[in-house]
Structure 1
Amino acid sequence: MVEMQSLKGNAMKPKGRTKFFSVLLGILFVAMGLAAFSQLLFLGRIDDPGSDSRWKDDKEARLLRIGLVKPEVLNWSPRIILLHKFLSAEECDYLIAIAGPRLAKSTVVDTSTGKGIESKVRTSTGMFLSNYDRRYPMIQAIERRIAVYSMIPVENGELLQVLRYEPNQYYKPHHDYFSDQFNLKRGGQRVATVLMYLSDVEEGGETIFPSVGDGECECGGELRKGLCVKPRKGDAILFWSAALDGNVDSNSLHGGCSVLRGEKWSATKWLRQSRFS
């Protein structure tokens, strides 16, 4: 009888071990699930820096809008990146408020003198912020953000330009880079541009890249070849006028489509190869 009981006890040991490992695996799976869930909750909180104390007290994270800005690559050659929620609503309204009383008819750069001249190519009104304006904390925050996302130093940037397009106003396709030596004296070539939308537009006002892609898009109520980006308040486009080899990229051709209804407010920052003076 003793031998029979001993055999039964030994026969039950493998079953006990199997049960133990099953329980252990169950605990591991539960732990992994809880970890994944907590990460999702954390990522959700990042969308609102104010809801997480780790971001609330981080001035740099708030200045750069960490977790709010969502980069979306639209094209690789030329490089075009759409930065969703790049500006806050308050920053957009602030730029419009300080620019409004100082608007004048927009000009284009004269390649022989470097000065602004009126042209039918561009029918908007606009103004440039001054070096004095750059002392304001909100302007400094925007310029700092541009530098970080473009990876081009603040001092390489030209003065910020604010533009307003009313119905039937536009900017015909053009390049931001220079083809003359005169304009290269103040910091070298323009290598990149950050175009920020300060308002929504009821209809029209898209930014078009005619040399990008093989499809068609709606530009000022018409179908045209290329890639179009619809203005949305707070969004920004970062695109490069220079290719990876350092040469200017003719495919960076771009324009502002006609506004059909409403107003289009935007701000532009051109970025140079070296310090702009």
Structure 2
Amino acid sequence: MTATGNTDVVARLRAAGCVFAEDEARLLTAAAAETGADLAELVAQRVSGTPLEHLLGWAEFHGLRIAVTAGVFVPRQRTAFLVDEAADLARALPSKHPVVVDMCCGSGALGLALATILASEGHRITLAAADIEPAAVECARRNLTPIGAAVYEGDLFDPLPDELRGRIDILLANTPYVPSEMIAHMPPEARDHEPRTALDGGPDGLDIFRRVVDAARTWLAPGGHLLVESSAAQTPQAITVLTEYGFAGRIAESDELYATVVIGTKPAM
């Protein structure tokens, strides 16, 4: 593409409100060159609100390129903090071969990132993932099958093999936590292009969280940990829920990533 053409792309993206217009123009131009796609069509879709990651076919997350397809939740950069917290907990586990489950997995980004971190340090894990959305399951299998992780389709714990019951050491659960009435106020690229099941957390944003905590009592191993992303405003309620179900709860926050993670630990026997 000529310098003038690239300038035009940047100008269109900036006019549409893309904060990182220069970076997006570069990525879209490269994607068109690599795939043979029409750059003008890619730009038109981006301007209309299609997530950049859906157009590229991948998202960068925790230093990895994660396959992301249309209709699949795009992993947020702030969620890298949840992965880091999970890695710290996994390192401290007595088990030398912990069992990890990525619940509401979307593309499988969290599970893949955690497995990659721990593998680089010589740790072995058994990883499984699950999601209710068929498109997400297909995408997660693209990302996770190469590392030997199984991905199951179904509602929360329902599709998991019974052999995992009571054996999960680390449960990553990026549950939807946007209150239902706030969905309409989300950016169009999320509201119109990502599955509502990945966004809508019910009236107070904690409906799915409550279901996960309830079931986790059975599925977590003694001393196992549940990690869930949350908004800062929801943390008092979330801690109350964890306490009611017998978990030791705490909050981890990252000012740098504007991230809040609720962590529940099942009592050790």
TM-score clears 0.5: no
Structure with the greater relative contact order (CA < 8 A, sep ≥ 6): 1 or 2? 1
Question: Is the radius of gyration larger for structure 1 or structure 2?
Answer: 1
**Bigger strand share:** 1
TM-score (norm 2): 0.26
TM-score (norm 1): 0.26
